[in-house]
A and B are shown apart, each in its own frame.
Chain A
Amino acid sequence: MSFITANWNPLGEAFYRKTELYEMSWNLRDGLRDSLVAAAPYGGPIALLREPHRRSPSSRPQLEIYSASGVDIASFPWKSGPVVQLGWTVSDELLCIQEDGSVLIYDLFGSFKRHFTMGQEVVQTQVLEAKVFHSPYGTGVAIVTGSSRFTLATNIDDLKLRRLPEVPGLQGKPSCWVVLTQDRQTKVLLSNGPELYILDNTSCTAVCPPGFSPQVGNIVQMAVSFSYKYLALFTDTGHLWTGSSHLQDKLSEVDTKKTPTPKHMVWCRRPKSQQPSVVLMWDRLLLVAGVCGDTIQYPSNQFPLEDPCVLVGELDGVRIISSTNQELLQEVPLVCQDMFKIASMAPGALLLEAHREYEKSSQKADEYLREIKEQSMLGEAVRQCVEAAGHEYDPSTQKSLLRAASFGKCFLTDFSPDQFVTTCRELRVLNGVRENGVGLPLTHTQFKQMTLQVLIDRLVYRQFYPLAIEMCRYLKIPDYQGVSRVLKHWASCKVQQKDLSDDAIARAVCVKVGDSPGVSYSHIAAKAYECGRTELAIKLLDSEARSGEQVPLLLKMKRSQLALSKAVESGDTDLVYTVVSYLKNEMNRGDFFMTLRNQPVALSLYRQFCKLQEQETLKDLYNQDDDHQELANYYVTASYREKRLDSRLSLLQSAIDEYNKAKNEFSAKMTEDEMRLLRFQRKLDDEKGAGLLGLSLQATMEALLSLGLHKQTEQLYRDFRVPDKRYWWLKLMSLAEKEEWEELEKFSKSKKSPIGYLAFVDVCMKSNNKYEAKKYVSKVTPEQKVKAHLAVSDLEGAADAAIERKNDAEMGAILSRCSASDRLLIDRLNRARAAAAKK
């Protein structure tokens, strides 16, 4: 397999390799010359603005967006102001920084999203240079203006502009500068001639890198590593200084013997790099300068000559994009070195060899295997093969490595297959996204760093929905985080398709999304509404299960009726109230009431609300509905709140009218009675100062009786047709209370008592008047005799009555009241009982 190492070059102890990723699909007439180019890391998209400085309005520059493999995504003429810099955000949005300091944001497909500005004063001073950088806080923008001042925005999604302090002695733009993120602070490192400054929020400090002698000249180019940990400085004498970005350690200093300023300078490292390097590019030369001092020169014959290239620093290498192809330059991962280094005796390499012999059916396979097994390195060998496969870009190399691993695994027991399985799956995904059509040239290391979630997002941004869904299913990601997320994006995008009818879109969305967990129809509907498709939004909202989400959007779209019925459906009364109070403010009263009328639930809630808060509205509401019954009730209730008798009577009169309209004769009659009573009470109050007003009929009669006004009481009794029973009770109790025993006796004889005479006995006893009580015992009906006698504690009498009635239960009751002293009585009762029982 010697050919694998064909593109390897040694650098110090390590090797570097340059792998072709793509032949670019684009067809650029003028190459990358005279263009602003921005290519995002992690295999991100490429933006290209031709001749940004050509300002004649007749020929506008063209802004083009390509995938990393050069597939055309979007292209449109640039109509805004001159652009200084292009850059990509972490969520694949394109930033176009204009000379006047405004930053325009476009999505991947070239549609404008929003803009912001880097400060008003920049309109005058103009942006000289700008840089887009990434930090844990998001994507940031830094500019230097014509007045030599720097302004930073650390996170464009949470825009806070910071104007950095002045740099002493700086005229125009610095010779070179970079943005650093260190210790949770964003700083600018810049050089002005031989001077080097660090610029942070509060100060500008002149610094000197350790071991950097002023004799080596002016700093003309600088670069920070992907992780912001390392710094490279290039001077006009051709010296390259490398060290930590804290400027505390020096790594090396290399004399490149090239004095022109390189076009590009980028760090090339990988995590746990053995031999990091800096890649410098001039027009005709690509130079890899290792920290060890070694260099590799990729001369022009390996390299498109005239055509300028773009270097993109990655986590684990550098991508080199030219107008025709794209390559990845990286330090060969250690495991790959072990595997493929010529004459390597690493266990993995032996296993690969063993497998190859095995395929040839050669017995040498056994020899190799034995060799590995003797050193008990078979597990290690399998691991090496699997790991190396992950780092290889070429599927056939991946396959042969994985097959070797699989072969080796057969001879192992208790070997966990997890790593093997995961790597196979991940490689399948990676190969899928590396496809030319998709164009995400991710290495395994980058993939691990960016995480699967982000990869799915990236695919979704590029609208590779089916692929994303396939991937989610293949990797068995829970729907909630996987498929649903993709569908949500898809649907939000689908509703923006102008050429499809509302119905078609709604149907398509509902069929695809269905009941997928976690997809919010209201979210999709909100998108549709944003694009001005209200009807579609309403159709989509119909599928939303959560009314809490539906209703506010419907209100926003002014579909208040629909909002109301949805709120009612949800059963959430607070939601209904919310809509109702919204409607109340939006509509005129008539319409509002009509709307409520069609929603009985809402209507009754509103009535409740009015009862507590707006009594007057309640009346209007009943009026509107011709609800005479309720209206009458309303008047009655209102009358209770009224202090003045006249108004009270007039309210009650209104109530009577309404009751009559409602054909509720009973209530009308009762209300009439109430009015009559009130008038009667007023008369008496005026005459006698009785203080009756507002009392109930019963209470009035009581009060009258206690005042001794028997005639008036009698009048009420007759006028209001008070049932005899009640009247008798009333009078009985009232007389007893006042202890008017004579009067009571007279009363008892006035006619036959409708409540019987036991009541008289009881009431007298309650007043502790046994004497009076006894008067009535004889009048009691036979059934109650025993009770009456007992009430006045006349056991003998009770016994007589009970024996006469031959009632066993009554006799028992008397017995239970007897004490030991009533010997005779007890005997008598027992005898009578026995006699009754015999029969």
Chain B
Amino acid sequence: MAAHLSYGRVNLNILREAARKELREFLDKCAGSKAIVWDEYLTGPFGLIAQYSLLKEHEVEKMFTLKSGRLPSADVKNIIFFVRPRLELMDIIAENVCSEDKQHSPRDFHILFVPRRSMLCEQRLKEQGVLGSFINIDEYILDLIPYDGDLLSMEYESAFRECYLENDQTSLYHTAKGLMTLQALYGTIPQIYGKGECARHVANMMLRMKREFAGSQNQILPVFDTLLLLDRNVDLLTPVATQLTYEGLIDEIYGINNGYVKLPPEKFAQKKQGEASKDLPTEPKKLQLNSAEELYAEIRDKNFNAVGAALSKKAKIISAAFEERHNAKTVGEIKQFVSQLPHMQAARSSLANHTSVAELIKDITTSEAFFDNLTVEQEFMTGVDTDKVNTYIEDSIAQKDPLIKILRLVCMQSVCNNGLKQKVFDYYKREILQSGLLKPQTSSRNNYPTIRKTLKLWMEDANEQNPNDISYVYSGYAPLSIRLTQVLARPGWRSIEEVLKMLPGPHFEERQQLPAGLHKKRQQGENRTTLVFFLGGVTYAEIAALRFLSQMEDSGMEYIIATTKLINGTTWIKSLMDRPESQTP
């Protein structure tokens, strides 16, 4: 199931295996049959590490969701709580444990904190008088979860909010720890670049932790040459823009969760049954999306406008392959054909699925509303009228379009204008009264145009079918974050010193000493590997752009992507809102 993790330049399956091993070790620590009580948030990420079968092998017989009240009865020896270290969860656990004691059943309790145990939580359990009931209190260090062959995520939803709105750097600490774990498995990363306050902070903590572990020098040949830490804060524009790659659009429209997407079932009905099929599938269709699926790997990062062509080309290849059987004359040829059959059938069903998905998306992208929205976005990005109240936004508010959609647009306008003018700001605020990312303009000059021009953020002639620049992922707009990455690789940040100064937060470079003898001897033409870490989230379109850079023949650089959370404009802004319902008129 996890084979696709090992296809990439860096074998991320090592990380997954390490995580699985640790999980097995913990489970074996609690001898006998067990039931796991899950913090619901964790089930998704854990699914990427271990399926139920692994848990079953280690005598996990039941699984429950953590909720207050009494634990469901289960004839098991051990009850294990898998939880994030959160106080409110501790209260629930305490309640569970207390009501359990009354039944006089001799079940053993354990807690596994993910990703780290917390003195605060243990203190809370102690106050509740249940700390003594736990036989094992352990931590399961799951910081970076491998999502795909080149993608790691911490699935830490509130990271950006915590860092910028609440001044809480817990996520950065976990990031640094995660990077240390990564370095323990893949060797010390000799060069660290970064941009932004949080990046600086993470780098500082990493260097500090390295000192703490001094002595236990690891002797692994470094797999990564460079680490680039980027604050989401540096590029707020990209996440609010509508992604136009295939995968990006799936996420924008339906939301991809832990590698799965749920789609409306109608299009996936069995065609053969004709009319009757209409009311058959009511459950949403659940699709797993990763590079293990050959076709998906091929089209995920394409601009959606190029997906149709790719699909029809694929369809031709597949039907041609099926036609082959007529040419198969000898027994040997037939045998060979039959041996390829499962693969071809899988390809055919994959094609059918994605054709349906593409149809679903096309319905939306061809709609007027989508087009209008995109037009406004592109106006902002090219710097048209960013200093005035925008009519489209006004109309959207009046028409009670989803709040998040409005906020996305307003935020975008704000970013493209380096903050809104106080008058405009107040106007919007009055209109929606929900402070999000808007900020009053502080400096009198708008420097976005300079940034846009220097970094070539807007490409007029973006080629969607056969892209030659990363701007294809937004049909014209080249994500700032990725431009920074690209420039770092060549010609280097020194060339854009001025622009870097305009962007928030410091930029820096650090070197980590390698033990003697671990310096890589590079083969001629061998690519360098960079780990790009997005602090505060990354969008699928950005990932697509980085993959595109990796594949460019002359780039000489391969990118592995890591982030606190995979985001799109909607999920991102949602994570920043307090309580969406508490909106005043």
Show the binding face of A for B, using Cβ within 8 Å.
Answer: 479-480, 484, 515-518, 545-546, 570-575, 577-578, 581, 600-601, 604-605, 607-609, 612-613, 637, 640, 666, 670, 673-674, 677, 695-700, 720, 723, 725-726, 728-730, 733, 755, 759
Contact B585 A700 (CB under 8 A): yes
Q: How many angstroms from the CA of A698 to the CA of B395 in the assembled complex?
A: 14
Q: How many angstroms from the CA of A687 to the CA of B400 in the assembled complex?
A: 28
Contact of B584 among A479, A546, A696, A725 (CB under 8 A): A696
Residues of A contacting B: mostly: helix
Closest to A516 in B: B215
> Smallest Cβ distance from B482 to chain A, in angstroms?
28
Contact B584 A674 (CB under 8 A): yes
Q: How many angstroms from the CA of A29 to the CA of B567 in the assembled complex?
A: 87
Contact A612 B394 (CB under 8 A): no
Contact A729 B172 (CB under 8 A): no
List chain B residues, Cβ under 8 A from A601.
167, 169
> Smallest Cβ distance from B252 to chain A, in angstroms?
24
B208 proximal to A (CB < 8 A): yes
B201 proximal to A (CB < 8 A): yes
B87 proximal to A (CB < 8 A): yes
B40 proximal to A (CB < 8 A): no
Q: How many angstroms from the CA of A574 to the CA of B90 in the assembled complex?
A: 15
Q: How many angstroms from the CA of A612 to the CA of B85 in the assembled complex?
A: 14
Closest to A480 in B: B215
Contact of A604 among B167, B217, B399 (CB under 8 A): B167
Contact A571 B585 (CB under 8 A): no
Contact of B400 among A640, A698, A759 (CB under 8 A): A698
Contact of A697 among B87, B170, B585 (CB under 8 A): B585
Contact of B172 among A479, A546, A571, A695 (CB under 8 A): A571
- Count A-B contacts at CB 8 Å: 104
Take A515-B214, A571-B205 as given contacts and tell me if A726 and B398 are in contact as well, using a CB distance cutoff of 8 Å: yes
Contact B398 A666 (CB under 8 A): no
17 contacts between A and B (CB under 8 A): A479-B215, A545-B211, A545-B214, A570-B208, A571-B172, A572-B173, A573-B168, A573-B170, A574-B118, A581-B120, A604-B168, A612-B87, A696-B583, A696-B585, A700-B585, A729-B395, A755-B395
B331 proximal to A (CB < 8 A): no
Q: Which of A480, A607, A698 lies at the interface centre, i.e. has the most chain B CB atoms within 10 A of its CB? A: A698
Closest to B202 in A: A571
Stretch at the interface among B24-32, B429-437, B504-512, B544-552: B429-437
Contact B166 A571 (CB under 8 A): no
Contact of A578 among B87, B119, B429 (CB under 8 A): B119
Contact A571 B201 (CB under 8 A): yes
Contact of B169 among A516, A573, A677, A755 (CB under 8 A): A573
List chain A residues, Cβ under 8 A from B582.
637, 640
> Smallest Cβ distance from A13 to chain B, in angstroms?
53
Q: How many angstroms from the CA of A699 to the CA of B400 in the assembled complex?
A: 10
Contact B429 A666 (CB under 8 A): yes
Contact B173 A729 (CB under 8 A): no
Contact B119 A725 (CB under 8 A): no
Contact with A along B557-582 (1 / 0, CB 8 A): 00000000000000000000010001
Q: How many angstroms from the CA of A698 to the CA of B426 in the assembled complex?
A: 18
Contact B585 A698 (CB under 8 A): yes
Q: How many angstroms from the CA of A613 to the CA of B176 in the assembled complex?
A: 28
> Smallest Cβ distance from A195 to chain B, in angstroms?
48
Q: How many angstroms from the CA of A330 to the CA of B316 in the assembled complex?
A: 93
Contact with A along B420-446 (1 / 0, CB 8 A): 000000100111010000000000000
**B386-410 CB contacts (< 8 Å) to partner A:** 394-395, 397-400
Contact B433 A729 (CB under 8 A): no
Instruction: List 5 other contacts, CB 8 Å, given A574-B116, A601-B167.
Output: A479-B215, A571-B204, A581-B120, A612-B87, A696-B584
Contact A575 B208 (CB under 8 A): no
List chain B residues, Cβ under 8 A from A546.
212
B123 proximal to A (CB < 8 A): yes
Contact B120 A578 (CB under 8 A): yes
Contact A729 B398 (CB under 8 A): yes
Closest to B205 in A: A571
Residues of B contacting A: mostly: helix
Contact B87 A613 (CB under 8 A): yes
Q: How many angstroms from the CA of A640 to the CA of B582 in the assembled complex?
A: 8
List chain B residues, Cβ under 8 A from A574.
85, 116, 118-120, 170
Closest to A609 in B: B87
> Smallest Cβ distance from A567 to chain B, in angstroms?
11
Closest to A673 in B: B585
B88 proximal to A (CB < 8 A): yes
Take A578-B123, A604-B167 as given contacts and tell me if A573 and B173 are in contact as well, using a CB distance cutoff of 8 Å: yes
Show the binding face of B for A, using Cβ within 8 Å.
Answer: 85, 87-88, 116, 118-120, 123, 166-170, 172-173, 176, 201, 204-205, 208, 211-212, 214-217, 394-395, 397-400, 426, 429-431, 433, 578, 582-585
List chain A residues, Cβ under 8 A from B167.
600-601, 604-605
Closest to A575 in B: B119
Contact A517 B395 (CB under 8 A): no
Closest to A637 in B: B582
Q: Which 5 A-B pairs have the closest CB atoms?
A: A517-B215, A697-B585, A729-B398, A696-B585, A604-B167
> Smallest Cβ distance from A415 to chain B, in angstroms?
30
Q: How many angstroms from the CA of A753 to the CA of B85 in the assembled complex?
A: 56
List chain A residues, Cβ under 8 A from B397.
726
Q: How many angstroms from the CA of A700 to the CA of B201 in the assembled complex?
A: 47
Q: Which of A545, A572, A604, A733 lies at the interface centre, i.e. has the most chain B CB atoms within 10 A of its CB? A: A572
List chain B residues, Cβ under 8 A from A612.
87-88
Contact B394 A726 (CB under 8 A): yes
List chain A residues, Cβ under 8 A from B85.
574
Q: How many angstroms from the CA of A546 to the CA of B525 in the assembled complex?
A: 41
Closest to A727 in B: B398
List chain A residues, Cβ under 8 A from B208.
545, 570-571
Contact of A730 among B166, B172, B394, B398 (CB under 8 A): B398
List chain A residues, Cβ under 8 A from B205.
570-571
Q: How many angstroms from the CA of A825 to the CA of B119 in the assembled complex?
A: 77
List chain A residues, Cβ under 8 A from B583.
696
Closest to A578 in B: B119
Closest to A569 in B: B208
List chain B residues, Cβ under 8 A from A571.
169, 172-173, 176, 201, 204-205, 208
> Smallest Cβ distance from B119 to chain A, in angstroms?
4
Q: How many angstroms from the CA of A733 to the CA of B401 in the assembled complex?
A: 13
Closest to A791 in B: B368
List chain B residues, Cβ under 8 A from A479.
215
Contact A577 B120 (CB under 8 A): yes
Q: How many angstroms from the CA of A612 to the CA of B169 in the assembled complex?
A: 17
Q: How many angstroms from the CA of A28 to the CA of B337 in the assembled complex?
A: 100
Q: How many angstroms from the CA of A825 to the CA of B425 in the assembled complex?
A: 48
Contact of A577 among B119, B426, B429, B430 (CB under 8 A): B119
> Smallest Cβ distance from A585 to chain B, in angstroms?
10
Contact A517 B214 (CB under 8 A): yes
List chain B residues, Cβ under 8 A from A517.
214-217
Contact B212 A666 (CB under 8 A): no
Q: How many angstroms from the CA of A546 to the CA of B201 in the assembled complex?
A: 17
Contact A670 B87 (CB under 8 A): no
List chain A residues, Cβ under 8 A from B426.
666
List chain B residues, Cβ under 8 A from A581.
120, 123
Contact B431 A723 (CB under 8 A): yes
> Smallest Cβ distance from B577 to chain A, in angstroms?
13
Q: How many angstroms from the CA of A640 to the CA of B176 in the assembled complex?
A: 38
Closest to A787 in B: B368
Q: Which of A607, A666, A700, A720 lies at the interface centre, i.e. has the most chain B CB atoms within 10 A of its CB? A: A666
List chain B residues, Cβ under 8 A from A518.
215
List chain B residues, Cβ under 8 A from A759.
395
> Smallest Cβ distance from A499 to chain B, in angstroms?
32
Q: How many angstroms from the CA of A479 to the CA of B511 in the assembled complex?
A: 24
Contact B120 A545 (CB under 8 A): no
> Smallest Cβ distance from B269 to chain A, in angstroms?
27
List chain B residues, Cβ under 8 A from A699.
585
List chain B residues, Cβ under 8 A from A700.
585
Q: How many angstroms from the CA of A600 to the CA of B169 in the assembled complex?
A: 12
